[in-house]
Amino acid sequence: MFIPSDREATLKAPPEARAEAGAVTEDGVGPSDLAEPAAAVAEAAGRSRAASRILAGASSGRKDAVLAAWAEALVEDAPAILEANAEDRRVGRRAGSTDGLLDRLELTEARLVDCADGLRALIGLPDPVGQVVRGSTLANGLRLRQVRVPLGVVGMIYEARPNVTVDAAGLAFKSGNACLLRGGGAARRSNAAIVATLRRTLAELAWPVDLVQTIDPWGRPGAVALMRARGLVDVVIPRGGADLIATVVEQATVPVIETGVGNVHLYVDASADLDMALPILLNAKTQRVSVCNAAETLLVHADLAQTFLPTALAGLAQAGVVLHGDDRARAAAPAGVEVQPAQPVDWATEYLALEIAVRVVDSLAEALEHIRTWSSGHTEAIVTSDLAAAQRFVDGVDSAAVMVNASTRFTDGGQFGLGAEVGISTQKLHARGPMGLAELTTTKWIVWGQGQIRP
Amino acid sequence: MFIPSDREATLKAPPEARAEAGAVTEDGVGPSDLAEPAAAVAEAAGRSRAASRILAGASSGRKDAVLAAWAEALVEDAPAILEANAEDRRVGRRAGSTDGLLDRLELTEARLVDCADGLRALIGLPDPVGQVVRGSTLANGLRLRQVRVPLGVVGMIYEARPNVTVDAAGLAFKSGNACLLRGGGAARRSNAAIVATLRRTLAELAWPVDLVQTIDPWGRPGAVALMRARGLVDVVIPRGGADLIATVVEQATVPVIETGVGNVHLYVDASADLDMALPILLNAKTQRVSVCNAAETLLVHADLAQTFLPTALAGLAQAGVVLHGDDRARAAAPAGVEVQPAQPVDWATEYLALEIAVRVVDSLAEALEHIRTWSSGHTEAIVTSDLAAAQRFVDGVDSAAVMVNASTRFTDGGQFGLGAEVGISTQKLHARGPMGLAELTTTKWIVWGQGQIRP
Q: Does A271 touch chain B (CB under 8 A)?
A: no
Min Cα–Cα distance to chain B from A449, Å: 5
Q: B325 CA to chain A: closest CA distance, Å?
A: 24
User: Which of A235, A289, A398 is the best residue to mutate to test the B interface, defined by the most B CB atoms within 10 Å of its own CB?
Assistant: A398
User: Searching chain A, which residue's CA lies closest to the CA of residue B279?
Assistant: A453
Nearest to B404 among A146, A287, A448 (CB): A448
| Start-to-end Cα distance in chain B | 45
Put simply, the answer to whether A451 touches B287 (Cβ < 8 Å) is no
Please report the DSSP string for B15-64 in residue order.
HHHHHHHHHHHTSS--GGG-HHHHHHHHHHHHHHHHHHHHHHT--HHHHH
DSSP E strand stretches across A309-413: 322-325, 339-341, 355-361, 379-383, 401-406
In 3D space, the residue among B176, B442, B196 whose CA is nearest the CA of residue A425 turns out to be: B442
Q: How many CB atoms lie within 10 A of CB A323?
A: 21
Distance of alpha carbon B435 from alpha carbon B419, whole angstroms: 9
Amino acid in position A154: V
B130 part of contact set with chain A, CB < 8 Å? no
Strand order through the sheet with B212-214? B212-214, B178-182, B153-158, B235-239
For B430, which of A398, A430, A453 is closest by C-beta distance?
A430
Least Cα distance to B359 among B299, B295, B270 occurs for: B299
pLDDT at A30: 39
Give B215-274 pLDDT, tens digit per residue: 999 999 999 999 999 989 999 999 887 888 888 988 898 999 988 789 999 999 999 999
Pairing, β B322-325 against β B339-341: parallel
User: CATH 3.40.605.10 spans which residues of chain B?
Assistant: 7-251
Residue B256 with chain A: CB contacts under 8 Å: 255
Tell me which chain A residues have a C-beta less than 8 angstroms from the C-beta of B432.
442-445
Residue of B nearest to A293 (CA): B454
Is the minimum CB–CB distance between A300 and chain B shorter than 8 Å? no
User: A264-415, superfamily in CATH?
Assistant: Aldehyde Dehydrogenase; Chain A, domain 2 (3.40.309.10)
A444·B253 Cβ contact <8 A: no
Give yes or no for a contact between B182 and B162, defined as CB atoms under 8 angstroms apart.
Answer: no
CA B288/CA B285 separation, integer angstroms: 7
Closest CA to A212 of A221, A225, A199, A200: A199
**Residue in chain B lying closest to A249 (CA):** B253
Contact across the interface for B446 and A417, Cβ inside 8 Å? no
Q: Tell which A residues from 420 to 439 touch B, by Cβ distance under 8 Å.
A: 427-430, 432-434
B54 in contact with chain A, both atoms CB, cutoff 8 A: no
Mutate which: A53, A368, A445, vs B, most B CBs within 10 A: A445
> Nearest CA to B328 among B295, B351, B348, B306?
B306
Cβ atoms of residues B237 and B155 within 8 Å: yes
For testing the chain A interface, which of B138, B235, B258, B454 should be mutated: the one with the most A CBs within 10 Å? B454
Question: How, if at all, do strands A178-182 and A153-158 pair?
Answer: parallel
CA dist., res. B54 & res. B43, Å (int): 18
Interface test with A, best of B145, B410, B425 (most A CBs within 10 A): B410
Higher pLDDT, A441 or A33: A441
Span between the terminal Cα atoms of chain A, in Å: 45
Q: Kindly report the average pLDDT of chain A as a whole number.
A: 90
The pLDDT of residue A34 is 62
Cα–Cα–Cα angle for A154, A160, A162, nearest 5°? 65
Radius of gyration of chain B (CA): 24
Give the residues across from A435 on adjacent strands.
A423
Q: Taking CB atoms and an 8 Å cutoff, what residues of chain B touch A262?
A: none
Give contacts of A398 with chain B, Cβ < 8 Å: 149, 152, 444
Portions of chain A given CATH number 3.40.309.10: 264-415
Q: Per-residue pLDDT tens for A217-250?
A: 999 999 999 999 998 999 999 988 788 888 898 8
Phi, psi of A322 (to 5 degrees): -75, 130
Helix (H) or strand (E) holding A285: helix A274-286
Which residues in chain B land under pLDDT 70? 1-34
- Say yes or no for a CB contact (<8 Å) between A230 and B253: no
Contacts of A442 in chain B (CB under 8 A): 428-429, 432
Helix spans in A181-254 (H) = 188-204, 219-227, 242-251
Where are the alpha helices (H) located in B270-343, listed in sequence order?
A: 274-286, 308-318, 327-331
The answer to whether the CB atoms of A399 and B279 lie below 8 A apart is no
ipTM above 0.90, yes or no: no
Q: Please tell me which of the candidates B253, B257, B430 has its beta carbon nearest to residue A249.
A: B253
Which chain A residues are Cβ-neighbours of B442 within 8 angstroms?
428-429, 432
Residue A52's pLDDT band (cuts 50, 70, 90): very high
- In the CATH hierarchy, which fold is given to the domain comprising B7-251? Aldehyde Dehydrogenase; Chain A, domain 1 (3.40.605)
B-proximal residues of A, 104-123, CB under 8 Å: none
Nearest residue to B116 (alpha-carbon basis) of B84, B79, B78: B78
**d(Cα A313, Cα A299) in Å, to the nearest integer?**
12
Closest CA to B276 of B361, B359, B389, B382: B382
Contact yes or no for B453 and A400 at CB 8 A: no
Residue B8 in 3-state DSSP? helix
**DSSP three-state, residue B9:** helix
Q: Could you say which DSSP state residue B13 is in?
A: S
Residue A292: Cβ within 10 Å count? 22
Torsion (CA) B214, B220, B221, B227 in degrees, nearest 10: 70
Yes or no, beta carbons of B433 and A447 under 8 Å apart: no
Write down the pLDDT at residue B24: 32
CA distance A377 to A137: 40
A 360-389: CB under 8 A from B: none
Question: Looking at residue A184, what is its pLDDT?
Answer: 83
CA A117 – CA A137 distance, rounded (Å): 43
* Residues whose CB falls within 8 Å of the CB of residue B444, separated by 6 or more in sequence, listed in order: A398, A399, A400, A401, A402, A432, A433, B146, B147, B149
Quick count: other Cβ atoms within 10 Å of Cβ B338? 11
Distance to chain A for B85, nearest Cα, Å: 31
Q: A284 to chain B: which residues are within 8 Å by CB?
A: 453
Cβ atoms of A218 and A38 within 8 Å: the answer is no
Go through A64-82 and write b for each residue having 16 or more CB atoms within 10 A of its CB, e for each that does not: bebbebbbebbeebbeebb
Q: What number is the average pLDDT over the span A327-348? A: 97
Please give the full DSSP string across B416-433, using - where no structure is assigned.
Answer: TT--S-SEEE-SSSS--E
Nearest chain A Cα to B395, which residue? A57
Closest by Cβ to B429, choosing from A235, A396, A445 = A235
A402: contact with B, CB 8 A cutoff: yes
